[in-house]
Structure 1
C-alpha cells in the first residue's frame, strides 16, 4: 500500500511507479560521496529490493528528492541514499522526507533504524536519530 504526505509545494510518496529511476541514478552516481560511479543496473537492483520514498514538486510533477530503506519491516531498517536536488535544498524538504520515513516505519515496531552520514548529522538529529551508544559493538564486512 502506498502512502502520500503533503509538505508545502511537495508531496512525498512511497509509490514505486512514480520513481524517476534515471534521475535517481544520475543524482547518486554523479553527485554523492557514497554512490559516485554506481552503475545503473546496481542502482535499479537496489531500488527493486527496497522501500523507496520520492518527493515530487506538485507544480511540475518532477522528482525533487529521494530516500531508500532496506528493511524486513519486522526488526531492522537501514536508511540510505537520501538525496535532495540542489534547487530544493534549504527549505526543509530533506527533514520532511526523513520524518516521512520515520513515521512510515513507526507502526512496524522495528528494533533499530540505522543510517550512516558524513555531513548531515543535524538533519537526522532533528528527526530523533543519535550516535550509537557503543559503536565498538558494531562491525562491518566490506568485500570491496
Structure 2
C-alpha cells in the first residue's frame, strides 16, 4: 500500500506546532519561538558552551526551525534555553540546555528537564536522551538515569568521526527528488494543491566530502 492516501495523510501528518507554557515561582518556560532572544541564545551556544563553540547563527536558526525549542523567562527576560529533537512517537532528545549564570543554583535546570516530559505531545514517548559532561546530578534529580547499556550506543561526531568510507558506499549513487508544492484557487471556498518534482543525482561519497569541508 502506498504511503500517501487520504486516510493515513490525516492520521500521520506532522504534529501541529502548539505553544505550551509552564510557570513556577515567577519563572516561565515556553515553546513560543516568537519570544526567543536569538542573540542571547547564539552568544551562549557559540561563545560560552563547550559543545557548540563557534556555531554560526544560520545553524542555530535551522536547529530551532527543525526542533521543539523552549525559552526560559523571568520578568520578561530570557534566562535559559533548550530544545527537543523528536519524532513525537518513540524518542526525544533534549539538548542545548543552558541557564543564565545569574540564575543557576535555583533548581531551574532540574525543573526544565522534568516538566518538558509533560508536553501533551510527548507524554507517550518511551525513550528520552540527553548528553552532559558534568551536570549529571542536575538531571538525576529530575528522574534521568545513566545509560543502562552504554555499550549499545554509537556515534559519529566531529570529535569522533567516521573511520572510513566503504567500497559499497563509494559506488553508491543517490537521487534527490525535490518537491515543489503550489496552491491555486479553484473556487472561493477551496483550493487545490499540486506537487511537482525535479531530480538531481550525485554520489554519496561526494556529499560526505562536502560535509567534511563544511566542518572545517
Alignment TM-score, normalising by the size of structure 2: 0.62
Structure exhibiting the larger radius of gyration computed from Cα positions: 2
Q: Deviations over 1:68-121 (max 9, x none)?
A: 100011111111000001011111111111122122267541121101100110
Greater RCO between the two (CA within 8 Å, min separation 6)?
1
What is the Cα deviation at residue 141 of structure 1?
2.2
Q: Work out whether 1:39 is the aligned partner of 2:56.
A: yes
CA distance in 1, matches of 2:120, 2:147: 19
- Contact kept, 8 Å, 2:88 with 2:122, in 1: the verdict is no
After superposition, residues 1-144 of structure 1 pair within 5 angstroms as 1-57=18-74, 59=75, 61-104=76-119, 107-142=122-157, 143=161
Higher percent of residues as strand: 2
Gaps of at least 5 residues in structure 1 are none
Say what the alpha-carbon RMSD is for the aligned residues.
1.5
- State how many pairs are aligned: 142
What is the Cα deviation at residue 10 of structure 1?
1.2
Q: Deviations over 1:14-56 (max 9, x none)?
A: 1111111111111111111111111111111111111011111
Alignment TM-score, normalising by the size of structure 1: 0.92
Higher percent of residues as helix: 1
Q: 1:72 to 1:107 in 2, by over 3 A?
A: closer
Structure 1 match to 2:168: none
- Contact kept, 8 Å, 1:50 with 1:69, in 2: the verdict is yes
